[in-house]
Amino acid sequence: MTGAGGAPDGFPVTMREIASEAGVHPSTVSRALRRARSGLPPASQRESNILQITERLGYTPDPTASSLRGGQSRAIGVLVPRLTDTVLATIYDSIESAAHRAGYEAFVANSNDDPDLQARRLQLLLSRRVDGIILGDARRDQDLSAVARTTHLVLVSRGHPDLPSATCDDFRGGWLAGDHLARLGHTTFAVVAGPPWAQTSFDRTTGFRAALAEHGLRLRTEDVYEVGFDTESGRTAGDRMLARRTPPTAVFAMNDHSAIGVMGALRAKGLRPGTDVAVVGFNDIPIAAELPIPLTSVRSPLQRMAEEAADMLLRLMSGGSAASVKLEPTLNVRASSDPTVDPVVDG
Amino acid sequence: MTGAGGAPDGFPVTMREIASEAGVHPSTVSRALRRARSGLPPASQRESNILQITERLGYTPDPTASSLRGGQSRAIGVLVPRLTDTVLATIYDSIESAAHRAGYEAFVANSNDDPDLQARRLQLLLSRRVDGIILGDARRDQDLSAVARTTHLVLVSRGHPDLPSATCDDFRGGWLAGDHLARLGHTTFAVVAGPPWAQTSFDRTTGFRAALAEHGLRLRTEDVYEVGFDTESGRTAGDRMLARRTPPTAVFAMNDHSAIGVMGALRAKGLRPGTDVAVVGFNDIPIAAELPIPLTSVRSPLQRMAEEAADMLLRLMSGGSAASVKLEPTLNVRASSDPTVDPVVDG
DNA sequence: CTGAAAGCGCTTACAG
DNA sequence: CTGAAAGCGCTTACAG
């Protein structure tokens, strides 16, 4: 039975083999396993025998076959704009864990924040017969009603008025950043925003602007750099704002990675974050606190957000309903905006 | 047909519907589509008609059904220790792209660097009938021959003597770091290593030690901190090494994230990376160059590594053979080890 | 080139 | 409780 050409010979055990080993009909095996999965005790001598054989032969049912016949896949799909973004990776990770705890499998797909790709990946997930989808890359202007009619759909991170979502209160997050910087006495600002279709970016900017307004300050359109969420975006925006006649003294970036990009731009110009230009990021990823100049950041509860989204989807899939939740962000002030905190020691 | 209970009514178009619409037998549809996928032109009037209908109805074949019958899934599985690590996320991302270009689907699973979980996730991927697997979390002591007998298997990032792998020349990477630090005149070192089962960590440490030896220097066992690859690991190791009677003046961390953790530990003690203690990281992720004190890092060609792994697997799956490749790392010297480079400006 | 049949591995009514 | 049958959506020899 060993292949000659070096090709591996996969011999997955099938239900039929279990059945013949136990001297029963395959359907009896199917029933025994179903009972066992539900946590019920074996209904007969035979059943416990079947379970033993299953164990011994290391049998696991073919999920594609069961979903083809049974209609349910016990799998959910997750669509993210970018898996290389720590934030999204963290969210997916937590969703995956929550799904596993509930006995579901999870699949991720990457949309690269591109509507065409998004549609295709969505199609892919649906063709894999997932029982529901968590969308992490919804677009503000997008009509998702068709998708929502096809499968159970929950949004995470980026909300949408028509659909249930688990998000951070991004307006509040932006407000916290704006209020903080205004209180420090800054009067000229820049915002390193994500793409215009991201609800997160929109709300954070709006909240930031609102906070400034409360202090009688204004954020001009040209002070908002719609670039993206990664390090390079931050660097680009930073270079551009510093090339201006009156550069800002305070910068709010919507992602810690882009905030670090801004720090890089400052350093290149001989400026120091915190003392020369205040920098505030968003999400408070683990490295933020450990940077040579620790980064002030709005912390969003990513794991809870992910768990809420997973819970909502599980509820929908079992016939229940789900209402959107908005989680409270908190501001962690560090030396990048306030040098009196975590002071940097000069050697 | 609209569901009453709010449950979505999914009505995926099936091949049968295409067939009846076109007035042909389902098998004819199957053949027409197969030809089209191979890039061949329609073999008849009928076939072009079938393709039109397929297009119009937005039909995509059910991959689970085709793999069940056809034996091939045109999908590959990728197992990573941790998706929240930028390095692995980047690798997966590139593998996914390469797979798509070749007409394959990709699935990731997370093993959390835990052997039990790894076995279960591997089982899951196999039960999904993937045509091959790329393993990113191989363990040094592990016997993977059973898996290799079951499916086509290629390793990425972490190599193994018995299996084809795409890796960075980690010994060389460690050597570059060691040589660099020794040339700068350092004599006391610390290594922030990953877990002992990671071949990457082992080789980098060995290479580092070899470079020191060439300079007549020694790395003691207690100078190697086997902690992990994340920020927190670096912070922990950093705190511990600084609590010693004679702290090191040069630190080599096997991951940029853990290097940043070390920087955090330095800052907490009032020490500055580069001037007080040299810090070198590994992988050279995008933020490394933008940090307030830019991080010296050994760059490993992650994307190429991923593409090589994907190519190797594709070759194996089409009956060919694959030899391991080791990619050359390069050292990017920055201010965290050499303050004369990228000097930090004090405001 | 096309149709009809068989079957991939499983599950679910239907009888007994 | 258990067996036998039908079928999920597809593909692949087999005839014609």
How far is residue A247's CA from residue A222's CA, in Å, rounded to a whole number?
12
pLDDT band at A9 (very low <50, low <70, confident <90, very high): low
A345 and B271 within 8 Å at the Cβ level: the answer is: yes
Q: Does the beta carbon of A192 lie under 8 angstroms from any beta carbon of chain B?
A: no
SS3 B162: coil
Report pLDDT for A321.
92
How far is residue A119's CA from residue A133's CA, in Å, rounded to a whole number?
13
Place of tokens 């393709």: B51
The string of pLDDT tens digits covering residues B127-151 is 888 999 999 999 998 999 988 988 9
B7 and A319 within 8 Å at the Cβ level: the answer is: yes
Asked if A161 and A195 count as a contact pair (C-beta separation under 8 A), the reply is no
Q: Which of chain B's residues have a Cβ under 8 Å away from the Cβ of A343?
A: none
**Closest partner CB to A128 (pick from B63, B152, B319):** B63
pTM given for the model: 0.91
Residue A7 vs residue A285, higher pLDDT = A285
Nearest residue in chain B measured CA to CA from A67: B64
How far is residue A219's CA from residue B60's CA, in Å, rounded to a whole number?
48
Based on C-alpha coordinates, what's the Rg of chain B? 26
Report pLDDT for A343.
57
How far is residue A186's CA from residue A178's CA, in Å, rounded to a whole number?
10
A257 and B287 within 8 Å at the Cβ level: the answer is: yes
B208 pLDDT exceeds 50?
yes
Report pLDDT for B180.
98
Report pLDDT for A4.
32
**Closest partner CB to A292 (pick from B230, B234, B292):** B292
Q: Does the beta carbon of B322 lie under 8 angstroms from any beta carbon of chain A?
A: no
DSSP label at residue B289? G
B246 pLDDT exceeds 90?
yes
**Closest partner CB to B287 (pick from A231, A294, A347):** A231
Planar angle of CA B204, B206, B207, nearest 5 degrees: 65
The candidate with the shortest Cα–Cα distance to B174, out of B300, B308, B336, is B300
- Reported in sequence order, the residue ranges of B64-214 that DSSP labels E, i.e. its strands, are 75-80, 105-110, 132-135, 152-156, 165-168, 189-193
Question: Which amino acid belongs to residue A294?
Answer: P
The token duo for A102 is 């509930």
CA A124 to chain B, closest CA, distance in angstroms equals 9
Q: What are phi and psi of B106, to 5 degrees?
A: -130, 140
Residue A35 vs residue A271, higher pLDDT = A271
How far is residue A59's CA from residue A74's CA, in Å, rounded to a whole number?
18
Q: What are phi and psi of A314, to 5 degrees?
A: -60, -40
SS3 A30: helix
Q: What percent of chain B has pLDDT over 70?
A: 95
Q: Which of chain B's residues have a Cβ under 8 Å away from the Cβ of A152?
A: 7-8
Nearest residue in chain A measured CA to CA from B336: A292
The string of pLDDT tens digits covering residues B55-81 is 898 888 888 898 888 888 899 999 999
How far is residue B91's CA from residue B113's CA, in Å, rounded to a whole number?
16
Report pLDDT for A12.
75
Residue B36 vs residue B297, higher pLDDT = B297
A155 touches strand C (CB under 7 A): no
Average pLDDT, chain B: 92
B347 pLDDT exceeds 60?
no
How far is residue B220's CA from residue B332's CA, in Å, rounded to a whole number?
26
SS3 B305: helix
Of the residues A64, A150, A290, A334, the best mutation for testing chain B's interface (the one with the most B CB atoms within 10 Å of its CB) is: A290
**Closest partner CB to A276 (pick from B6, B260, B347):** B347
DSSP label at residue B38? T
A34 touches strand C (CB under 7 A): yes
List, as ranges, residues 218-247 from B with C-beta within 8 Å of A. 230-232, 234-235
A304 pLDDT exceeds 90?
yes
How far is residue A251's CA from residue A240's CA, in Å, rounded to a whole number?
12
pLDDT, mean of residues A231-246: 97
How many C-beta atoms surround the C-beta of residue B2 within 10 A?
7
pLDDT band at B115 (very low <50, low <70, confident <90, very high): very high
How far is residue B164's CA from residue A98's CA, in Å, rounded to a whole number?
34
C12 nearest neighbour residue (CA to C1'): A70
CA B235 to chain A, closest CA, distance in angstroms equals 8
Question: Which amino acid belongs to residue A123?
Answer: Q
Handedness of CA B287, B289, B292, B298 (dihedral sign): positive
SS3 B143: coil
DSSP string, B218-259: ---GGGEEE--SSHHHHHHHHHHHHTSSS--SEEEESSHHHH
Question: Which amino acid belongs to residue B65?
Answer: A
Report pLDDT for B5.
36
B8 pLDDT exceeds 90?
no
SS3 A45: helix
The string of pLDDT tens digits covering residues A145-190 is 988 988 999 999 999 999 999 999 999 999 999 999 999 999 999 9
B38 touches strand C (CB under 7 A): no
Lowest mean pLDDT among A140-144, A175-179, B156-160, B338-342: B338-342
Asked if A99 and A92 count as a contact pair (C-beta separation under 8 A), the reply is no
CA B171 to chain A, closest CA, distance in angstroms equals 26
pLDDT band at B343 (very low <50, low <70, confident <90, very high): low
Handedness of CA A16, A18, A23, A27 (dihedral sign): negative
Distances (CA, A) of A172 to A303, A306, A329, B311: 18, 19, 7, 47
The string of pLDDT tens digits covering residues A199-230 is 999 999 999 999 999 999 999 999 999 999 99
B264 and A60 within 8 Å at the Cβ level: the answer is: no
Q: What are phi and psi of B5, to 5 degrees?
A: -80, 10
SS (H, E, C) A234-295: HHHHHHHHHCCCCCCCEEEECCHHHHHHHHHHHHHCCCCECCCEEEEEECCCHHHHHCCCCC
B3 pLDDT exceeds 50?
no
A231 and B286 within 8 Å at the Cβ level: the answer is: yes
A263 and B292 within 8 Å at the Cβ level: the answer is: yes
pLDDT band at A347 (very low <50, low <70, confident <90, very high): very low
Q: Does the beta carbon of A345 lie under 8 angstroms from any beta carbon of chain B?
A: yes
Asked if A150 and B8 count as a contact pair (C-beta separation under 8 A), the reply is yes
Asked if B250 and B220 count as a contact pair (C-beta separation under 8 A), the reply is no
> Which residues lie across from B105 on neighbouring strands?
B75
The token duo for B55 is 């297009």
How far is residue B86's CA from residue B106's CA, in Å, rounded to a whole number?
18
pLDDT, mean of residues A17-21: 90
How many C-beta atoms surround the C-beta of residue A24 within 10 A?
18
Report pLDDT for B62.
87
CA B147 to chain A, closest CA, distance in angstroms equals 9
**Closest partner CB to B8 (pick from A150, A230, A276):** A150
Asked if A132 and A76 count as a contact pair (C-beta separation under 8 A), the reply is yes
pLDDT band at A290 (very low <50, low <70, confident <90, very high): very high
CB-count burial class (<10 Å; 0-12, 13-18, 19+) for B177: buried
Average pLDDT, chain A: 92
The candidate with the shortest Cα–Cα distance to B192, out of B295, B302, B344, is B295
Q: What percent of chain A has pLDDT over 90?
A: 75
The token duo for B11 is 């009505």
Lowest mean pLDDT among A113-117, A222-226, A304-308: A113-117
The candidate with the shortest Cα–Cα distance to B225, out of B203, B245, B207, B240, is B240
The token duo for B142 is 């592990």
D3 nearest neighbour residue (CA to C1'): A25
DSSP label at residue A299? E
Q: Which of chain A's residues have a Cβ under 8 Å away from the Cβ of B6?
A: 321
The candidate with the shortest Cα–Cα distance to A178, out of A151, A146, A215, is A215
A68 and B67 within 8 Å at the Cβ level: the answer is: no
State which nucleotides on strand D lie below 7 Å from a protein beta carbon.
Answer: 1-5, 7-13
Report pLDDT for A10.
55
Q: Which of chain B's residues have a Cβ under 8 Å away from the Cβ of A275?
A: 347
The Å distance, CA of A224 to C1' of C13, is 62
How does B29-48 read in b/e, with b if 16+ C-beta sit within 10 Å?
bbebbebbeeeeeeeeeebe
